[in-house]
Amino acid sequence: MSTDLVFGYHAVRGALGRDPEQVVAVWLDRQRRDKRSRELVGLAAGAGVTVSWVTRAEMDALAGDAVHQGMLARVQVRAALQEPDLEDLLDRLQTPPLLLALDGVTDPHNLGACLRSADAAGVHAVIAPRDRAAGLSPVVRKVASGATETVPFVQVTNLARTLDALRRRGIWVLGAAGEGDAVHFDADMAGALALVLGAEGDGLRRLTRERCDQLIAIPMCGQVESLNVSVAAGVLLFEAVRQRRLS
């Protein structure tokens, strides 16, 4: 298992509170002696993790360009899964799958936010292309606030081919597009479902659209034409949660 840096209060606290055995080391800014720092020190002590108090310059050198809030941890991280892992995951499920597929989302902040929403909605896996798309990174892990370790993230070589495989399993594939032929409230999301959202600005690619069983739209009542992909993911996922609870 490889290691990576996580930074910021929520990410470090999440790592220490959720999987303390995966935390290798913690660094804190020696100028911070506040409640949050004391909390992390207590969590680290309980997990037997060494805390190093360092200068702001040393912290900046460790974190690079990241906004670290004076808090860093090195943790053992789970690598992205691949197509065979997705097949195994689906074979083991005892409930209808709820999947989120992201078609070329390149902004790590958006990927992290999508993973966080996916965790909250109980998504079984997030699927994304391996190329020309954001992968797991320290920025993604920070924004996701622990969801990178709880939601399986699957990188695939060919998203269109993966969607074909999901459809053969009987999973209903819904694509989000402004020109969708139905609003999301009217779409059937109660069963086995894969929601597919496109990249920032470009939306779904043609081959991805062609693999969708239906294109749906979120009704926009204001002046803006579309939502940020992570916001749209949250809207659609929790509509799916609502329908699944009623079924």
Residue pLDDT, tens place only, 52-93: 999 999 988 988 877 788 999 998 887 889 999 999 999 999
User: Which pLDDT tens digit goes with each residue over 157-200?
Assistant: 999 999 999 999 999 999 999 888 889 999 999 999 999 999 87
Half-sphere exposure of 77 (CA within 13 A, CB side): 24
Locus of tokens 């659209």: 209
pLDDT of residue 185: 92
User: Which pLDDT tens digit goes with each residue over 97-134?
Assistant: 999 999 989 999 999 999 999 999 999 999 999 998 99
Q: What is the pTM of this model?
A: 0.85
**2-77 classified as CATH 3.30.1330.30:** yes
Q: Which CATH superfamily is domain 83-246 in?
A: SPOUT methyltransferase, trefoil knot domain (3.40.1280.10)
User: Which pLDDT tens digit goes with each residue over 45-55?
Assistant: 999 999 999 99
Separation in Å, CA 108 to CA 16, 113, 136, 141, 183: 23, 8, 8, 9, 28
Give CATH 3.40.1280.10 domain extents, the chain: 83-246
Token pair recorded at residue 75: 């943790």
Give CATH 3.30.1330.30 domain extents, the chain: 2-77
> Is residue 182 within 8 Å of 214, Cβ to Cβ?
yes
pLDDT of residue 1: 61
Looking at the chain, the whole-number percentage of residues with pLDDT higher than 90 is 66
Closest to 234 (Cα-Cα) out of 155, 153, 116? 116
Residue 26 has pLDDT above 90, yes or no: yes
